[in-house]
Amino acid sequence: MALPQSAPRPQAETAPAPVAVARPRLPNAEAIVPYLQRIDEARWYSNFGPLLIELEQRLADRFARPTQVITVANATQALTLSLKAMDLPVGGAHVILPAWTFVATAHAVVQAGLKPWFVDVDPDTWMLDPAAVAALGPKLRDACAVIPVAPFGRMPDVDAWLAFRETTGLPVLLDAAAAFDTLADARLPSVVSLHATKVLGLGEGGFLATEDLALAARVRELTTFCFRGSRQSQAPGTNAKLSEYACAVGLAAMDGWPGERLRWMRAAQMLRIALIGRPQVRFQPGWGADWVTSVCTVGLPAGAAAHVTQVLREDGVDTRQWWDRGCHASPAFADCRREPLPATEALAASTLGLPFSIDMDAGEVARLAAALQRALA
Ligand code: T4K
């Protein structure tokens, strides 16, 4: 007997999947396998094996001038160990850094036995201004070093920082965590992150790039218990080496980089085109046109970040304040010395990390553009 047919149930409306703020993509297994086979054959798994040496050489070859690259377990450790290797006075000595940075910069200062001293950034460049730091005048005597940060991958004026170093005598270490693509000049010792969320990632990793061979050698020692040709530690150090497996991913990422860079550019161009005619959304100068990075942090009208975040969330579009309210606002650094920080406070309320990934499709870009239109109407 045929059963009576019931009326078709109305389909529950399913919301589209959220537009993710980031969707990292590292080299796939196929690209990594040849390097894994080399590891199998060599039976060398860590402690400066052939893959690590090759990766460091290929990273160094990207610089126009002779440069030494030292890989480290992550960029936070690379910053810490670089500060330690600079032989700065410890105890009571402050390191000047921007409040507008990720907490890693300040953690590195503390881990190196030094004290963070937060200084405001320039509201237009989002970076420390060497002239403004120099204008601290006699107070600079309390500092033993400065760490400018390349915000979201945009490089600072290296010549201006070299001149600052010359006139003040203060060592300068650049936190270029997100500047893999833009860092081509290591006259200032510079640290890059190779974290999975970065434009070229290997999971966890980072490197110091420098023209100072003695500094490079000291950082290398610090990554391996401060051994210097014997099994005796010459000073307190740590273990911050990259394994050969991490380097296999890194080498595969380097093989794919020219194509991946173009794909990052293409995604950025799609976004830029979709937001033409929306002058309230300001990209960093050159972003996605002259240089690439893995995040899209934009400037919005003053104080608009919270409202835009809320509206985009309602429309299923994820966003991120990559640096929260600024590094100084974390409880861990509440007691740290600071100058007035009006530009940092303003940036925290008026910048926002929009969804951005290497394979962002036209549908996601359209959803983001429509949500932004609603938020900024
Ligand atoms: N200096 C500066 C200025 C920095 O920005 C950073 C790091 C450093 C120094 C230190 O570098 P490292 O020591 O990390 O090498 C991310 C990154 O972990 C961090 O590298 C980065 N800056 C910081 C700004 O952001 P999270 O904790 O926000 O990432 P998470 O886990 O929330 O992931 C973001 C999005 O990506 C999520 O939607 C999930 C997705 N995701 C993430 C991972 C890791 C994936 O889909 N797959 C993944 O494998 O820190």
pLDDT of residue 166 exceeding 90: yes
What is the model's pLDDT at position 92?
58
Assign 41 a pLDDT band (cuts: 50, 70, 90): very high
Assign 14 a pLDDT band (cuts: 50, 70, 90): confident
Average pLDDT over residues 45-74: 98
How, if at all, do strands 206-210 and 68-72 pair? antiparallel
Tell the burial category of 268 from Cβ atoms under 10 Å away from its Cβ (0-12, 13-18, 19+): buried
* DSSP designation for 327: G
**Mean pLDDT (the chain, rounded):** 95
Identify which of 126, 197, 200 to mutate to test ligand 1's pocket (most ligand atoms within 8 A of the CB).
197
Per-residue pLDDT tens for 122-146? 999 999 999 999 999 999 999 999 9
Nearest one of 227, 188, 234, 224 to 208, comparing CA atoms: 188
Per-residue pLDDT tens for 75-124? 999 999 999 999 897 655 999 999 999 999 999 999 999 999 999 999 99
Q: Distance between CA atoms of 315 and 15, rounded to whole angstroms? A: 10
Starting from the edge strand earliest in sequence, which strands make up the sheet with 190-193, in order? Answer: 68-72, 206-210, 190-193, 174-175
What is the model's pLDDT at position 87?
87
**Contact 376/308 with Cβ under 8 angstroms?**
yes
Decide which of 6 and 172 is more confident.
172
Distance from the CA of 147 to the center of ligand 1, in angstroms? 20
Q: Distance between CA atoms of 110 and 80, rounded to whole angstroms? A: 8
For 333, the 3-state DSSP assignment is helix
Distance from the CA of 265 to the center of ligand 1, in angstroms? 20
Q: What is the domain partition of the chain in residue ranges?
A: 29-250, 257-376
CA 307 to chain centre: 26
Q: Which ligand 1 atom is nearest residue 295's CA? A: 24
CATH fold for domain 29-250: Aspartate Aminotransferase; domain 2 (3.40.640)
pLDDT of residue 226 exceeding 80: yes
Q: Distance between CA atoms of 326 and 299, rounded to whole angstroms? A: 15
Q: Is 193 in the pocket of ligand 1 (CB under 6 A)?
A: yes
Distance from the CA of 204 to the center of ligand 1, in angstroms? 10
> Does pTM surpass 0.75?
yes
**Contact 22/295 with Cβ under 8 angstroms?**
yes
Average pLDDT over residues 151-178: 97
Distance from the CA of 104 to the center of ligand 1, in angstroms? 10
How, if at all, do strands 190-193 and 174-175 pair? parallel
What is the model's pLDDT at position 91?
54
Q: Distance between CA atoms of 294 and 22, rounded to whole angstroms? A: 8
Nearest one of 166, 174, 152 to 96, comparing CA atoms: 174
What is the model's pLDDT at position 289?
95
Helix residue spans in the chain (DSSP H): 29-42, 50-60, 75-85, 103-111, 130-134, 158-168, 213-222, 244-274, 305-314, 342-350, 362-376
Q: Is 56 in the pocket of ligand 1 (CB under 6 A)?
A: no
Distance from the CA of 124 to the center of ligand 1, in angstroms? 24
What is the model's pLDDT at position 3?
40
Q: Distance between CA atoms of 331 and 15, rounded to whole angstroms? A: 37
Average pLDDT over residues 268-274: 97
What is the model's pLDDT at position 4?
42
CATH number for region 257-376: 3.90.1150.10
- Is the sign of the CA dihedral 34, 38, 39, 43 positive or negative? positive
- What DSSP line would sit under 126-160, residue for residue? SS--HHHHHTTGGGGGGEEEE--B-GGG----HHH
